[in-house]
Amino acid sequence: MFSSANSRRVLRLTVALSALALALGTAGTAQARPGVSTAIIDTARGDGNVVSFTFDDGPNPADTPRLLDVLRRHHVKAVFCLQGDQVEQHPELVRRIAAAGHTLCNHSMHHDDMSTWTPEQIAADLRQTSAAIRRALPHARIPYFRAPYGAWGQSPAVAASLGMQPLGWRLAIADWETPGTDELVRRLEEGITPGAVVLMHDGGGDRSQTVDAVDRVIPVLKSRHWRFTLPETGC
So which residues are the catalytic ones? 56, 201
For 135, the enclosing helix (H) or strand (E) is helix 119-136
**String of DSSP letters for 50-71:** EEEEEEEEE--TTTHHHHHHHH
Buried b (16+ CB within 10 A) or exposed e, 196-228: bbbbbbbbbeebebbbbbbbbbbeebeeeebeb
Give the burial class of 48: count Cβ atoms within 10 A of its Cβ; 0-12 exposed, 13-18 middle, 19 or more buried: exposed
**Helices 119-136 and 91-99 sit at what angle, rounded to 10 degrees?**
80
> Residue 186 belongs to what H/E stretch?
helix 181-191
**DSSP string covering 26-44:** HTT--PPPTT--SS-B-BB
What sign for the dihedral angle of Cα 114, 116, 121, 123?
positive
Residue 119's identity, in one-letter code, is: P
Please choose, from the candidates 124, 35, 24, 141, the residue with its C-alpha nearest in 3D space to the C-alpha of residue 82: 141
Q: How far is CA 202 from CA 11, 78, 158, 209, in A?
A: 59, 12, 26, 10
